[in-house]
Structure 1
Amino acid sequence: MGLKGYTSPRTPEGRSSLVPYPPWHYVGAFLVVDYWADAEQAAAFLPEGIDPHPDAGRCAFVAADWQSCSEGGDELLDPSRSQYKEVFVVVNGLYDGEEVTTCAYIWVDRDFALARGWIQGFPKKLGSIWVTRSFGLGGPADPGMQAGARFGVTCAAYERRVAEATVTLEQPSAGGPFHNAGPIVNVRHFARLAAGQHDAPAVHELVRAVSRDRLVSDVWEGSATLALHGAGHEEIDALAPVRIGRGYRFTFGYTVDDLETVREL
């Protein structure tokens, strides 16, 4: 019969794969902070083939409280397989003169999201992430989408806090966020273990994220704070803000079942 499944572990029935076959459907509540890092440090995180953005050091910090499922939506009835949280930083650049973003750092709190991200070219690591939620009722425990509403996010990796941000809403946004608006171009990299080939990866390619059926709520914006902290095992502080722009909150949904290979590296 042969083993079945989209990813390991592949089994006789194929039900045990960590990541199911696409399509993958997503919806999430987002907090985004537009900011600028040190220009040289930001440029150092750009992969081969992506040039620095003319607005030097332009970055975005993103936190998302996600729910996702594969076709049929069975994961929605088993929420531990559908819900996860995520924090990431993108650096803006140019690819063939087009504005793009590339994900320099990203943490998630579930293993299926980690593996699914690697398939897409996101350099995901496990972390502990907490994001303020809103439930649409108002009241002391629900900030809502209104002027004065306050949201926060924290992220820790190996018990060290590496990121924290806040957004205080002021008004509906006319067009933001801006620093994570460009197409995402990442590096898919899978190393070899064979002796003598540790620097000759099995996969090393520049890829462009592809999504469809996008849905987005009204976007609110306001003032923001952001701190990125280093650790012995992390270099995220190299992308710490030197200037902070606006913060945003909104809900976003889409479907993924494709990926474009831009070039081999």
Structure 2
Amino acid sequence: MAQGFNSFTAPYTASGRAALVPAPPWHYAGWLMNVAVSLDTSRSAEVVPAALGRLTGQGCVHFADWQATTDGSELLDPVYSQYRETIVIAEIERPDGKRYNYCPFIWVDQDISLLRGLLQGWPKKLGTTWMTRSLPIEHAAAAPLRAGSRLGATLTVKERRLVEARLTLTGQPGQPLGFLTNAVVGSVGLPDLTRPDQPPKVDWVLPAIQGKVASDWHAAEAELSVLPHPVEELSLLGELKVTGASVGWLGMTVVGASPLAK
């Protein structure tokens, strides 16, 4: 925090009101479409630093429609609380054999969420996610949570379609997948412009999460397509082969982070 100021992030002012992101706790609640995948590990060293670990071949693509708040005020002005994102999760095995999740790619449509993510070590970039909502009524437009309901999701980055998903609910109980199953290691670090010839120092952290609650998860069959893109490197994970899918709601609170044990 800037000395004498109350801003947690820029812009720094005495009141702190203009800061893009206030200090935690950050409370999140959202609707999630989760598509578990197997992925190629042959280019693991291009995705995960060797000192951190290696890809195991398991992962997940999450499409999320979030609502977030600090003290409740954002819920009264929802342009500050709502956003959608697409999250790519890859399971990694540490050199000591322990397994964690890792996020190599993630795209979001809200600057507040983007900066919150970077502070936690999630490599957020801007992208546009659209996804079907399930509404609690029995109606043709509601995509109710029952067998046969069909849902879709798309991600567009820099006006180019990158990911498409189609889900059909089976009517069976589902499972939590991806980042819902294990802690996610974040990579926190920024370059120093006084030393542009040196790479940034990166620290690995684990989120401190409290108050995690979830609905029942609903199983689905899924199809997932990744389209070519001139810049994004999702292709480093090879063909993403669907191994399972589920939908549901999640709530959680991030209160900080802690260093990953060496």
The TM-score normalised by the length of structure 2 is 0.92
CA shift digits 1:206-255 (9 cap, x unpaired): 11122110000000112111112232211112224352111110100000
SS at match of 1:133: coil
Map 1:183-198 to 2 at 5 A.
Answer: 183-194=183-194, 196-198=195-197
Q: 1:29/1:174 Cα in 2 relative to 1: closer, same or farther (>3 Å)?
A: closer
Q: Output the CA distance in 1 between the equivalents of 2:136 and 2:238.
A: 33
Match in the other structure for 2:78: 79
SS at match of 2:253: strand
Residue ranges of structure 2 left out of the alignment (5+ in a row) = none
Alignment-mate amino acid for residue 257 of structure 1: V
1:120 to 2:103 alignment: no
Match in the other structure for 1:69: 69
Q: CA offset at residue 23 of structure 1?
A: 0.4
SS at match of 1:57: strand
Match in the other structure for 1:225: 223
Q: CA offset at residue 144 of structure 1?
A: 1.4
Q: Output the CA distance in 1 between the equivalents of 2:165 and 2:48.
A: 23
Q: CA offset at residue 156 of structure 1?
A: 0.7
Q: CA offset at residue 13 of structure 1?
A: 1.2
The TM-score normalised by the length of structure 1 is 0.91
Match in the other structure for 1:108: 108
Alignment-mate amino acid for residue 160 of structure 1: R
Q: 1:27/1:179 Cα in 2 relative to 1: closer, same or farther (>3 Å)?
A: closer
SS at match of 2:42: helix
CA shift digits 1:105-141 (9 cap, x unpaired): 0000000000000000000000111111122112111
Instruction: Using the aligned pairs only, state the percent identity.
Output: 32
- Answer with 170-179 or 180-189: which moved more: 170-179
Q: 1:41/1:171 Cα in 2 relative to 1: closer, same or farther (>3 Å)?
A: farther
Alignment-mate amino acid for residue 80 of structure 2: R
Match in the other structure for 1:44: 46
Match in the other structure for 2:153: 153
Match in the other structure for 1:205: 203
Paired residues, number: 259
Q: Output the CA distance in 2 between the equivalents of 1:249 and 1:131.
A: 11
Match in the other structure for 1:236: 234
Alignment-mate amino acid for residue 150 of structure 1: R
Alignment-mate amino acid for residue 204 of structure 2: L
Q: CA offset at residue 172 of structure 1?
A: 3.2
Whether the 8 Å contact between 2:163 and 2:226 is mirrored in structure 1 is yes
Q: CA RMSD in A?
A: 1.9
Q: 1:144/1:198 Cα in 2 relative to 1: closer, same or farther (>3 Å)?
A: farther
Q: Output the CA distance in 1 between the equivalents of 2:199 and 2:260.
A: 19
Alignment-mate amino acid for residue 88 of structure 2: V
Whether the 8 Å contact between 2:39 and 2:58 is mirrored in structure 1 is yes
Whether the 8 Å contact between 1:172 and 1:219 is mirrored in structure 2 is no
Residue ranges of structure 1 left out of the alignment (5+ in a row) = none
Q: Output the CA distance in 2 between the equivalents of 1:42 and 1:59.
A: 13
Whether the 8 Å contact between 2:148 and 2:168 is mirrored in structure 1 is yes
